Structure formats: structure tokens, C-alpha cells
A and B are shown apart, each in its own frame.
Chain A
Amino acid sequence: MKGLLIKDLINLKKQGMIIGVLIVFYAVLGFWTHDSSMMGAVMAVLAAMMPITSMAYDEKAKWDKYALSMPVSRRDIVLGKYLLGILFSAVVFIVNIAFNLIVNNGESLKEIALLSGALSGLALVYMALVMPVLFRFGVEKGRLLMMMLLFGATGLIVYFSTNSESLPSAQTLNLAAKLSPSIVIAVLLTSFLLSSKIYEKREL
């Protein structure tokens, strides 16, 4: 398991340069405009993309069948990708908090943590939605479905935000904030179990 994660991290290091440039660009933009939202969104997208990118690398190298000839179970492979996603979401969470504190537009630490948490949570939920698809069809074939999922989700959000009569009350928002960590965990867990089950039957 640890070996699999190390492999993914080393493998993704090659992208580090591009990601670094992206982060610096959006960070500078954020300082300039005193607005951290773009930076936060970009970071969240990056976090969600990392496990998918690593799966694309594996697919290209046909790593999975080789890995499974080692003392590694199919469950380990699935768990490895989820852990990778969680790891990146956690890093993004911390970076977003730090960045917001530096840019500081007068929000309280609690507000900042809530916003950063929501972004990482979104990244995790997106990962939870696409992972079973990718484990079933592979990244190459699953790409289209992944895009559809992304557009579908965006569409839903736009639909609800334009059609709702009024903004939700502060009370509802508070409740949502309290409940969402457990919802994210439940979604992740369900997704993991589903992916494990799918991957158990995959012919390599």
C-alpha cells in the first residue's frame, strides 16, 4: 500500500512543475485582486484531478496487472487511489486556509476554514463520483462519462442557484456546514465500496 502511494507521488512529480506555475499564477492573481476564490477553485480542481491523472499514468503503463503480480490485492489498489485523493484534498485544505489568511479580506478563521473545507469537500465528492466509473471503464474510456458527470453537476448547481426563490437562511447553511463532513465521508465510503466491488471483477 505504502509502496503504491510512493509510486503515485513519484510518478506525479513530473507534473509538479506545471502545477507549480499554475499555483504561482493564481496566487499572484489572488494577491493582486484581493480575491482568493479563483485560487481556491483551481486548487480544488487540482486535488480532484491528481488521482485521475495517476490512474491515467497507470493505464498507459499497464501498471495494474503488474502490480497485482506483487503482494498487492485489488482492494489495495483501489484504496491507494482514494487515499491519494484524500491526501491531496487535505493538502489543498491547508494551503487554502493559509492563502486566505495571507490575503485576508476580513473573514474570520471560522469562515475561512468553512470555505476551504467546502472546496476540499467538493473535490472529494467529485472524486467519489468519478472513481467507480474509472475503475469500471478505465480513464481513456471513462473520460467522456467523467466530463458528462462534471457538466451535469455544474448544470444542476446553476439550475438550483438561478431558480431558487430566495437564498437559504443562515440556519440552514449552518446545519449544512455541520452535516456536510459526514455526508462527504458517507459518499466517499459508498464510492470506495462500489469501486472495490467493480475492480474485484475487472479482467486485466
Chain B
Amino acid sequence: MKQALELKKVSKKYEGFLLDQIDIELPRGCIMGLIGENGAGKSTTIKLILDLISRDNGTIMVLGGDNLENLKAIKENIGVVLDESCFPENLNLWDINRIMKNIYLTWNEKLFWDYTTRFALPSDKKTVKEYSHGMKMKLAIAIALSHDSKLLLLDEATSGLDPVARDEILDVFREFIQDEERSILLSSHITSDLEKICDYITFLHKGKVVFSEQKDDLLEKYGVLKCSAEEFAKIDSSAVKGCRMNEFGVQALVEKQKMNNSYVIDRAGLEDIMLYHIKEK
């Protein structure tokens, strides 16, 4: 089994929204970033993987098993952080440790206390109610890492954290992925974070996969071209992925290979690639 996660032609229809036949493959040992605007289908995809909502079509394989068949056992090896804190407010760290010890067979108490110390979570009787948003996120991440997780599903896990904390969390993810059996799927708006750690990027837009490729290939493939409107008119339009025109000229995302060398092409960041892809040509 090479893929940690395999979605094939997965669809889900809601009133006013369609997740349309999406295909995603996350190889073992890799980190995949899921990008897209609000409402593009990122959370829906993660919910479908966990079977929190029923899908209309397609198959989903998680860690080699069909997610409709033996999900309970598979979930022992999944760590999940959802986009909102879901802890009952009356619990403190000790309570949570006691509960998780009785839920996960592979719960690692020592690891849990290590992470909570590292994340500076209050080990006194402070309850979740008194936690800040960032602390709740850190708590969820600590739990996701404190059992035998082979796959992390993180829905906006780093949003709401300050840059220093985000960097700290990214380091934790890098450590986690040292073991080649492990993989991470994380959705985020913060493309700079994804650019730092992801191997693969999947871009969802209005319920469709726009692309799902290796990050390095993407960054290699595209560039930002700045030129005048006259120059732009001469360019092979198949090379242009999207453009932005103003009175000073044109900025366009282009495929570098299809361009000849007479143009100056800047490096395209993930954010450029994402924004230009959804701009009409």
C-alpha cells in the first residue's frame, strides 16, 4: 500500500454546492496541502474522509482500507484537528488525558504531557472554557499526535495561531513526518505555511480539483510575467493561465516552458498560482 489516502471520483451534493468527482492521492510519507477559498470544499472533503457526512459517489481509501468498511479500526491511526474546537468546556487537561486513555488503545500519556508542556498549555485545573482559540488548537494538535497516528487530517489547524506559534507547529509536523510511514493532509488559507512544508498541493475551487501536483513541479512550472498590453497580445495564449490587466500593463501567470526566453518572468508563489488560476483569462 503506497497511498495513505486515495479519493476517487468522490461527489457530494448540497443545496447550492456540489463537490464534483474529486480525485486526490496522497502518497505515504508526504504532506499535502489543500488550498481553496472559503466554501471551495476543503472541510467537506475532510468530513467525507471521516464519513461524518455521507458521500453520493466515489470511493475513499484511508491507510489502505475502505472508509465505509472498517473505519473505527482505521481511526486508531488517524489524528484529526477540525476547524473549530469541539471540546466540552468543563474539561481540563487531566480529564482529557483520562478520557483519551479510554478511547485510543494506543494513547501515549507521556507523549501527551510532553506536547502539552511544549505548547505551554496550562496543566493546572484550568478548563477548556478558559482557553484561547490558539490554545484549543494546540490542544487538538497535541491529542492528534499522542496516539499511533499514521495520518493527520488537519482542517485549518494553523489558522488562528500567531506566526511564532505557527512556525512552532510546522516544526512539529516536520518531526512527525520523519517517519516515512506517516502522512499529513492539511487544509489552510495560509499559503505561505503550505509552501514551507508541503510536498503536494491540491487546489479546490467551487467543488472541483483545479490541480493536484507536487509543489516543486508547480513552482517550477509557473512564473509571473509582467509586460505591456501589446507584448501580451503576441504571447501564445495556451501558455497563459490567468492574467490581471491595469493601465500600466499586464501581469500574467504563465507556463515557463511555453514561453521563449525574451521575457522576464518572476518566480510565482503558491498564492500567485492559486489566485491567477481562478482569474478568467
Pick the 8 closest A-B CB pairs, nearest first: A66-B86, A3-B102, A3-B103, A69-B80, A204-B52, A2-B102, A71-B76, A61-B88
Q: Is A63 an interface residue (CB 8 A)?
A: yes
* 14 further contact pairs, Cβ within 8 A, besides A6-B98, A61-B85, A69-B52: A4-B103, A6-B99, A7-B88, A7-B95, A10-B91, A11-B88, A58-B88, A61-B86, A66-B82, A69-B75, A70-B104, A71-B72, A76-B72, A204-B47
Q: Size of chain A's interface in residues, with CB distance under 8 A?
A: 28
Q: Is B133 an interface residue (CB 8 A)?
A: no
19 pairs, CB–CB < 8 Å, chain A vs chain B: A2-B102, A6-B98, A7-B99, A10-B90, A10-B91, A10-B99, A11-B91, A14-B90, A57-B88, A60-B89, A65-B47, A65-B50, A65-B82, A68-B50, A69-B153, A70-B103, A73-B71, A203-B52, A204-B52
Cβ distance B279 to chain A, nearest Cβ, rounded Å: 34
Residue of B nearest to A10 (CB): B95
Which residues of chain B come closer than 8 Å to A63, judged between CB atoms?
86-88
Q: Is B54 an interface residue (CB 8 A)?
A: yes
Find out whether the CB atom of B78 lies under 8 angstroms from the CB atom of A69: yes
Instruction: Tell me the bound Cα distance from A67 to B143 in angstroms.
Output: 12
| Interface residue ranges, B against A (CB under 8 Å) | 47, 50-54, 71-73, 75-76, 78, 80, 82, 84-91, 95, 98-105, 153
Number of A-B contacts (CB under 8 A): 83
| Interface residue ranges, A against B (CB under 8 Å) | 2-4, 6-7, 10-11, 13-14, 57-58, 60-63, 65-73, 76, 201, 203-204
Do most interface residues of chain A lie in helix, strand or loop, or is the interface mixed?
Answer: helix
Find out whether the CB atom of B47 lies under 8 angstroms from the CB atom of A13: no
Cβ distance B141 to chain A, nearest Cβ, rounded Å: 13
Find out whether the CB atom of B52 lies under 8 angstroms from the CB atom of A71: no
Which residues of chain A come closer than 8 Å to B73, judged between CB atoms?
71
Find out whether the CB atom of A72 lies under 8 angstroms from the CB atom of B47: no
Contact of A13 among B52, B80, B87, B90 (CB under 8 A): B90
Find out whether the CB atom of B72 lies under 8 angstroms from the CB atom of A201: no
Find out whether the CB atom of A71 lies under 8 angstroms from the CB atom of B103: yes
Instruction: Tell me the bound Cα distance from A67 to B52 in angstroms.
Output: 10
Instruction: Tell me the bound Cα distance from A67 to B100 in angstroms.
Output: 10
Instruction: Tell me the bound Cα distance from A76 to B91 in angstroms.
Output: 21
Residue of B nearest to A72 (CB): B103
Cβ distance B161 to chain A, nearest Cβ, rounded Å: 19
Given contacts A6-B99, A10-B95, A10-B99, contact A61 B87 (CB under 8 A): yes
Which residues of chain B come closer than 8 Å to A7, judged between CB atoms?
88, 91, 95, 99
Given contacts A3-B101, A10-B95, A72-B103, contact A201 B54 (CB under 8 A): yes
Find out whether the CB atom of B86 lies under 8 angstroms from the CB atom of A71: no
Residue of B nearest to A76 (CB): B72
Cβ distance B146 to chain A, nearest Cβ, rounded Å: 12
Which residues of chain A come closer than 8 Å to B86, judged between CB atoms?
61-63, 65-67
